[in-house]
Chain A
Amino acid sequence: MKPLPLIVQVLRDPPVLARLSAADWDLLLRQADKSMLLAALGALVESHDLMGAIPAQARTHLDWIATLARRHRSGVQWEVEQIRKALAPLGMPVVLLKGAAYTMAGLPPGRGRLFSDIDILVPRARLDETESALRMHGWISAKQDAYDERYYRQWMHELPPMVHIQRKSAIDVHHAILPLTAAQHPDSAKLMGAAVALGGDSLYQVLAPADMVLHSAVHLFHDEFKHGLRDLLDLDRLLRHFGADPAFWDGLAARAAELELGRSLFYALRYAERLLGTPVPAAVIEAAATAAPGSLLLALMDQLFLRALLPQHPSCADAFSASARFALYLRANWLRMPPVLLARHLFHKAFLSPKQ
């Protein structure tokens, strides 16, 4: 494999930023853009106080994206308040997931993270009420096709995505963190039971630290690697942040086993450490390794993941990058549902669904 891409070198060792030439930045900014990490790169430069040490052109680009990041942040806060108006009357806690959780809880992955949807988790029994309450406040299902409706309602772990009719903002309402058709069934009641209030908030909660890390891992390693490096960086940031408290590490592997997410945790720790140099105690690695695949499969997974986790940019690709991504796309679908159902689903998407 080729040496680590510039963006990965920078994320591993931010002081490198001060030594980059304008030509290096020309490449770095493009790798960051393709990985959805431009604003995060800006936040990194700022937090290491290096704005004065980088070429003026690069500073300008980071200034451009900072405008977007500021607007994004206030947009997310506004949307979260709008959703509050819709859901507060239901009298149940609502768990914010992923980007919205990081941003609203002020966690490190939230710095410079741009995302398009707000994800929430509610009990499955309250799904219908949640959907009608959001409808009353202007969110409508974006998918109209009967097949898509059925795909989501019968097999998936979320409602069909809803989009606000005026603001076009999107919300994904989950009742679980993995599809109903997947082989693993992380118990949503356990996740919600351990969730913690967001600051002093009466409505919103976020997942407990270990669960948040596990959800981030399952999201990355069960999905299609569209923004693999961004998602791995989320994990790195969460692990460094929560890992400062030794108690965090103690129960992590056991919690993963309890939620049937041991394999995802194993991959998360392995690749965060390998690519981003995330510090993980040896005992935790050892405990997580009980869920590791056999050595032959692991050798294959290394080949696939270490390619697909890099930015989808020509400068980071080798002869096998495209096949690795395609293999992981198939794997993501494979993990989502049993083979017969999968064959039926892929057939439908290929031949019957209306084209965009």
Chain B
Amino acid sequence: MLSLASLSRRELGERLAGPGLDLGTGGFVTRLSSPIASVADGLHLLYGDYPVHPNGQFADFHVSLMPSPGLRRWYKPQVNFCYDGQPVFRPLPLDHAFPMFEWGLNWCVSAHANNHLIVHAAVLEKDGLAVILPAPPGSGKSTLCATLAHRGWRLLSDELALLRLSDGMVAPLPRPISLKNASIDIMRDYLTVPGQAAPVFSRPVSETSKGTVAHLKAPSAAVARAGELARPAWVIFPKWEAGSEAVLSPLPKARAFTGVASNAFNYSLTAAPGFELLGRIIDQCGCYEFRYSRMDEAVALFARLSSGLAPSAA
């Protein structure tokens, strides 16, 4: 199948402004259209590895990012995220169009894909085993996820852990990683290593509801392996704390259960099947809290975790 990189920036812009682009991410196809240049720029920069499906077949989500009409075309222009033609959210400033695309695509999945228990969590894989990192905003989840995704772990998702109700396997949805404020420069520095390809970030957008936001391109290998499922093996609640040693402490299963359930988008909706699935997953997983401040220590500790050594303080 064609990848998005086979389209030039100009061809991409024409597709988006015209018939739409059938973009594959994980198990989903999104028919995307938008006349907005920053949307095409962001896709051109971050989505080169993703498949482009032939037009006019089946798409799961029909999405358009459209400038608000009327006076808003000239005065403080705005953008709407539309699902099958209808705006879903309040409009944002036009400059926020690309982050809005990313957030909106998360919404498409979390509001519909109810054959999964969908948890707000980062997920990564090594040797077929997945680590689930559920966390509220501000816990440093995305920073940790971006680090691990470039240090031996395969990125499954930065935002949405899709746990299949049928068998509890994690369905990968590797997409760009959303970084905020100070994390952007920290990760830019951390991932810039002599002799390796420089990390690719989207243009930072300031004054969003989350502060300044930039998206980091997902590793190509993770995108290429998006069809490979993984079995949950660890549930770890990360917490970044200034100056902290990397400490992994066991978490009682009952607390891990409620911690994951409270971060799930559709725990109540999936009812008994969701409850039973989460019970099985918590049973089969090692459950921990993880405190850290330095990336290298975190990387070392996670490497020991995956090699089966009893976890202990670094």
Which residue numbers of A lie inside 8 Å of B, CB to CB?
Answer: 22-23, 25-26, 30, 33-34, 55, 57-58, 60-61, 63-65, 67-68, 70-71, 74, 313-314
Contacts and interface: CB of A to CB of B under 8 A. Distances in A.
Contacts of A55: 58
Interface in B108-159: 112-115
Contacts of B62: 30
B269 interface: yes
A63 B165 CA distance: 11
A22 B22 CA distance: 14
Contacts of A33: 84
A71 B271 contact: yes
A114 to B, nearest CB: 12
Contacts of B8: none
B57 interface: yes
A65 B85 CA distance: 20
A61 B271 contact: no
Nearest to A30: B84
A23 B29 CA distance: 13
A34 B56 CA distance: 20
A67 B57 contact: no
B85 A314 contact: yes
Nearest to B266: A67
A64 B58 contact: no
13 contacts: A23-B58, A26-B58, A26-B59, A30-B62, A34-B84, A57-B58, A58-B58, A60-B60, A64-B115, A67-B115, A67-B165, A67-B269, A74-B271
Given A22-B57, A25-B58, A67 B114 contact: yes
B284 interface: no
Residue of B115, B268, B270, B273 with highest tally of chain A CB at under 10 A: B115
Contacts of B113: 64
Contacts of B268: 71
Kindly state the interface size class of chain B when it binds its partner. 20 to 34
A30 to B, nearest CB: 5
Interface in B35-67: 56-60, 62
Given A68-B269, A71-B271, 16 more contacts: A22-B57, A23-B56, A26-B57, A26-B59, A57-B58, A58-B58, A61-B112, A63-B114, A63-B115, A67-B165, A67-B270, A68-B114, A70-B271, A74-B271, A313-B84, A314-B85
A67 B59 CA distance: 20
A23 B58 CA distance: 5
A326 to B, nearest CB: 18
A191 B271 CA distance: 37
Interface in B256-311: 266, 268-271, 273
B24 to A, nearest CB: 12
Given A30-B62, A30-B84, A67-B270, A60 B56 contact: no
Contacts of B112: 61, 64
B66 to A, nearest CB: 14
A61 B62 CA distance: 13
B57 A23 contact: yes
Best-buried of B29, B58, B114 by chain A (most CB within 10 Å): B58
Interface of B: 29, 56-60, 62, 84-85, 112-115, 165, 266, 268-271, 273
B194 to A, nearest CB: 45
Contacts of A63: 114-115
A22 B58 contact: yes
The 9 A-B pairs at the shortest CB distance, nearest first, are namely A67-B114, A22-B58, A64-B114, A26-B58, A57-B58, A63-B115, A71-B269, A71-B271, A30-B84
B131 to A, nearest CB: 26
Contacts of A58: 58
Contacts of A23: 56-58
A57 B60 contact: yes
A313 B85 CA distance: 9
A172 B297 CA distance: 59
A101 B273 CA distance: 27
A74 B112 CA distance: 19
Nearest to B271: A71
B160 to A, nearest CB: 15
B269 A61 contact: no
A275 B270 CA distance: 35
Contacts of A22: 57-58
A34 B85 CA distance: 11
Contacts of A30: 62, 84
Contacts of A64: 112-115
Nearest to A22: B58
A27 to B, nearest CB: 10
A313 B165 CA distance: 32
B306 to A, nearest CB: 32
Contacts of A313: 84-85
A293 to B, nearest CB: 34
Nearest to B59: A26
Contacts of B85: 313-314
Contact of B115 (A57, A60, A71, A74): A60
Contacts of B115: 60, 63-64, 67
Contacts of A71: 268-271
Contacts of A57: 29, 58, 60
A33 B88 CA distance: 14
Nearest to B62: A30
Contacts of A60: 60, 115
Contact of A61 (B57, B60, B270): B60
A60 B165 CA distance: 12
**Highest count of chain B CB atoms <10 Å: which of A26, A55, A58:** A26
A71 B112 CA distance: 14
B300 to A, nearest CB: 40
A18 to B, nearest CB: 17
A22 to B, nearest CB: 4
Nearest to A65: B114
Contacts of A70: 271
Contacts of B273: 67
A60 B115 CA distance: 8
Nearest to A57: B58
